[in-house]
Amino acid sequence: MREVAIVGIGSTPFGRHAGTPIEQLGVRAAAEALLDAGIDRARIGAVYLGNFISGPLNGKEVLAGIVADQLGLPNVPCTKVEGACASGGIAFRHAWMAIASGQCDAALVVGVETMTHANTAQTTAALNCAMDNEHDGPSGLTFPGLFGLAWRIHAERHGTTRAQVSAVVRKNKRNGLLNPLAQMGADLSDDQIAASASICDPLQLYDCCPTSDGAAALVLVAKPLAREATGIPVDVLATVQTRGASRIAGHPDLCSFDATVSAAQRAYAMAGVTAADIDLVELHDCFSIAEIIDSEDLGLAPRGQGAIWAAEGRTAVGGQVAINPSGGLLAKGHPVGATGVGQLYEVVRQLRGTHANQVKGAEIGMTHNLGGTGVACTVSILRRSM
Amino acid sequence: MREVAIVGIGSTPFGRHAGTPIEQLGVRAAAEALLDAGIDRARIGAVYLGNFISGPLNGKEVLAGIVADQLGLPNVPCTKVEGACASGGIAFRHAWMAIASGQCDAALVVGVETMTHANTAQTTAALNCAMDNEHDGPSGLTFPGLFGLAWRIHAERHGTTRAQVSAVVRKNKRNGLLNPLAQMGADLSDDQIAASASICDPLQLYDCCPTSDGAAALVLVAKPLAREATGIPVDVLATVQTRGASRIAGHPDLCSFDATVSAAQRAYAMAGVTAADIDLVELHDCFSIAEIIDSEDLGLAPRGQGAIWAAEGRTAVGGQVAINPSGGLLAKGHPVGATGVGQLYEVVRQLRGTHANQVKGAEIGMTHNLGGTGVACTVSILRRSM
C-alpha cells in the first residue's frame, strides 16, 4: 500500500445553518479543502461522502454525486458511505484505501449533516435509525438511555461521581470556547452542570451533545504528490474500521465497546505506535460518560480511571494526553455524518500547529468515531509530516 | 491489482415480502451465498451492503453491521454504500476493490430494499431522494416524467413507435415468466400493453418497473482462493463506477446517459473486450425506454436503433445479444438497493450455465446499474472461469 497524506482541510462552523441546503454545506467545506490543498481539481480521482440521515430528514440522497457535480469535479466514482455516527470516519478510510491501493492519486472526503431544521420527534426517530430496532426497539431505549445505563454501571463498578463526570463536561465546553467552529462552548461551573435538566438519569443536559448542522472536508493525496500541494501535509499512519455487536444485549459489557478496543489495537499496530505516543485525540464524546469509556477503550487512561483522569486534568490541553481540544461532540457539536471528518480536520490543524487551542509540540494525533450502539467504529492515527 | 472471482450467489425472490424485516431479507440472501461459496465464514474480510431508502421507509440504517452481526461474521469493516438505484453495483465494486487491492481475501456483498409496505406517496417521496431536489424539484418532474420526456425525444429523433417499445416490454415480461425469482413475468400482447393505464404519457403501466422487496448477495474471493470454494467461480474482468450530471438540465442529451457511456467504455478497456464479445447483459430497464437508451449507450445497438433491435428480436435469448434474460427491472422487479447485486446474481447463473432462461454457450456477461437521473453508474463484465 502507498503512503497517503492529508493536504487540504475545510469546514463550516458546526451549529445552526437553517435554510442552507445540505449539499451546499458540503460544497462549502469541500471548496475550502480544495483551495487549501491547492492541487488541480482534475486530479481528484474519487469522492467519498459520509452522511447518516439526510434521507429521513431532508429527502435527499446521492449527495456524493450532487456535491461533486456542483464542485465541477471530473467524472470519477462518487460514493456515499454510511455507518451511523461513524459515517465520516468510514468515508475517510475509503478515500485512504482508494489512494493507498493505487486506484487514484488524490481523493476528496466530505462529511455532512443537517438536523436543526427538524423537530425533536423527527430527530429522535432519525437518530434511532442507528439502532437495531427489531431487537432493541421493544426495550424503549434510545441513545441517552443506553449511555445512562453505562454511567450507572461505571459508577457502581468504579465509584465514578457526578463531579468527576462534570470534569469532562467543563473541559470540553471550555475547549469549545476557544474553537471558532464550535457550536456550544461555555465556561460552566460544577453547580451549573449539576443543576441542569435531567435528560435520562443520571445524564443531565450538559452531558449530552447538541443537535447540529455542519460539514467538513479533506483532500488526500499519495505521499509523493504532497510536495505539489500548498496545504501543509499531515501523514496518515493508520486508519482502521471495525464492527461490534449491533444489538445492545450483544455487548458483553456496556462499559466498553469492542469495536473501539479492536480498532485502537489494530491502529496502534498499523501505525507502529502505542497509546503513550499520542499527543492528542478527538474522540466520540456523544455523552460525557462516552468520553470516559472511550478514553479507557483506546488505552489512553487505565480501565475505570477515565473520569479520574479528567478530574485530575490529565486529559486537558497541557496534560498527559489532550482529549477533545476542539471541544468534542459535547461543545463543538455533532452533525452526525460530518463528525468523523471534522475530528480529522481538528487533528490536522493541531499537527500543522495552527489550532486556536493548540497542543504544544503535537506530533501524533488520533481520531475515534463510533457508530450506533458500537456497531461501527473507525480509529485513525496521523503524524506531522517530516 | 489481484484477480477476483465470484464464488457464491444468493437471492430472495423479488416481489412482496411484507412483514419481513429488511435485515432478514439481507441475511437470507447472504446465508445462501455463503452456503453456495462453501468457504469458511471466518475468511470474510469485508462486507459491503447496497441500500437506498431504508432510512426513510423503514427507519433503519447501519444495515451492513446488523446483517453481518446476524450472520455471525467476524469483526471486519462493514459498510453501507449508497448511489440511489446504483447502490448495489457500487457495493459490488467496493468488495472487488477490497480484494483486488489486497485488503482482504474474501468479501460479502449484499443488496437489499423493502418498499411494498409503504403507500404510493411515501414510495414516490423516497424514490425522489435520488433527484437533485433543489434544482429539479421545482420542475415537478419525477422519474416517470424524466423517462417520458426521453421517449418523446427518441421518438422525434428516430421515429420510435409504441409497437417497437412494446417489443421490449413483451420480451422482458416473457423472460420474467421463466425466472423463478421474478415478480411480474407475463405473456402480454401488444394490445394489452397499448391498452394499459397511462402513467406519464407516453409511458403506460407495463412500461414501468414495479415496486419491490428483495435481497441478493455475492461472495467474492481472490482468484487463487476460488479453488477452495464449492461454488462454480466466475471471473470479474472489469467493474467501473462513474458519475454523470446530478441535475436534469446538466445532461447534454436526455436520450443518453454520459455516466453509462463512460462506464461502458472504461469497462470494455479494463476487460479487454468489445461490445461484440458480450453474450448477455442485465441492464437498468427501470422503464422500457430506458432499456432502449441503455442498449445504445452501452454500444450494444447502434444509436437510435435500440427499439428496432428489440422489435427484430436481436436482444432476445438466442438473438445477437441477450438483454435482460432475467426479465430485467420491468419483470423481475426493482428493489432498488438490491437490483445491481441481483443483476450480477443473474449473470453468474448464466455463466455457470445453470439459469432457468439460459443463454446457450454464454461466456461473457455484463451488468449495468444506473442511479438517479444518471448521476451514478456501474458497469461490470464477468467471464466464465477457465
Percentage of chain A beyond pLDDT 90 is: 95
Predicted pLDDT at B386: 76
Cβ under 8 Å to A: B residues 169-198? none
The backbone region for A334, taken as left when phi is positive above 0, alpha when psi lies in -120 to 50, beta otherwise, is: beta
**Angle at the Cα of A206 (from A22 to A317), degrees rounded to 5?**
85
Distance CA A166, CA A75 (A): 49
Predicted pLDDT at B126: 96
What cell was used for B58? 423503514
Please tell me whether the peptide bond between B202 and the residue prior to it is cis, using omega within 30 degrees of 0. yes
Distance CA B142, CA B133 (A): 10
Determine which one of B154, B251, B284, B334 is catalytic: B334
Predicted pLDDT at B305: 97
- With CB atoms and an 8 Å threshold, state whether B82 touches A90: no
Predicted pLDDT at A28: 98
- Tens-of-pLDDT digits for all 386 residues of chain B? 899 999 999 999 999 998 899 999 999 999 999 999 999 999 999 999 999 999 999 999 999 999 999 999 999 999 999 999 999 999 999 999 999 999 999 999 999 999 999 999 999 999 999 999 999 989 888 899 999 999 999 999 999 999 999 999 999 999 999 999 999 999 999 999 999 999 999 999 999 999 999 999 999 999 999 998 888 899 999 999 999 999 999 999 999 999 999 999 999 999 999 999 999 999 999 999 999 999 999 999 999 999 999 999 999 999 999 999 999 999 999 999 999 999 999 999 999 999 999 999 999 999 999 999 999 999 999 999 87
- Is the ipTM of this structure higher than 0.90? yes
Contacting residues of A for B84, CB less than 8 Å apart: 61-62
Kindly report, residue by residue over A65-93, the tens digit of the pLDDT: 999 999 999 999 999 999 999 999 999 99
Predicted pLDDT at B78: 98
Mutate to test the interface with B, among A1, A41, A62 (most CBs of B within 10 A): A62
What dotted CATH number matches A4-119+212-234? 3.40.47.10
**Do A307 and A168 meet the contact criterion of CB atoms below 8 Å apart?**
yes
Counted residue by residue, chain B has a size of: 386
Residue with cell 432493541: A136
Predicted pLDDT at A111: 98
- With CB atoms and an 8 Å threshold, state whether B62 touches A70: no
In this predicted structure, the answer to whether residue A97 has a pLDDT above a threshold of 90 is yes
**Which CATH architecture best describes the domain B4-119+212-235?**
3-Layer(aba) Sandwich (3.40)
Contacting residues of A for B258, CB less than 8 Å apart: 75
How high does pLDDT run on average in chain A?
97
Helix (H) or strand (E) holding B241: strand B234-243
Predicted pLDDT at A386: 76
Predicted pLDDT at A275: 98
Reference B379, options B249, B273, B307, B228; nearest CA is B273
Say if B65 is an interface residue toward chain A (CB within 8 Å): yes
**Do A64 and A94 meet the contact criterion of CB atoms below 8 Å apart?**
no
**CA nearest A373 in B: which residue?**
B62
Predicted pLDDT at B371: 97
Kindly report, residue by residue over A238-261, the tens digit of the pLDDT: 999 999 999 999 999 999 999 999
Predicted pLDDT at A230: 87
**Angle at the Cα of A297 (from A296 to A300), degrees rounded to 5?**
50
CA distance B83 to chain A (A): 5
CATH number belonging to the domain at A134-208+236-384, selected among 3.40.47.10, 3.30.700.30, 3.40.50.720, 3.40.50.1580: 3.40.47.10
Contacting residues of A for B64, CB less than 8 Å apart: 83, 376
Distance CA B320, CA A307 (A): 71
The CATH 3.40.47.10 portion of chain B extends over 4-119+212-235, 133-205+236-384
CA distance A41 to chain B (A): 15
Q: Catalytic annotation on B85?
A: yes
**Which CATH architecture best describes the domain B133-205+236-384?**
3-Layer(aba) Sandwich (3.40)
Say if B56 is an interface residue toward chain A (CB within 8 Å): yes
Q: pTM for this one?
A: 0.98
Average pLDDT over residues A309-319: 97
- With CB atoms and an 8 Å threshold, state whether B62 touches A258: no
Kindly report, residue by residue over A125-145, the tens digit of the pLDDT: 999 999 999 999 898 888 999
**CA nearest B61 in A: which residue?**
A129
What cell was used for A84? 451511523
Cβ under 8 Å to B: A residues 242-261? 242-247, 250, 258-259
Contacting residues of B for A80, CB less than 8 Å apart: 81-83
SS3 call for B99: helix
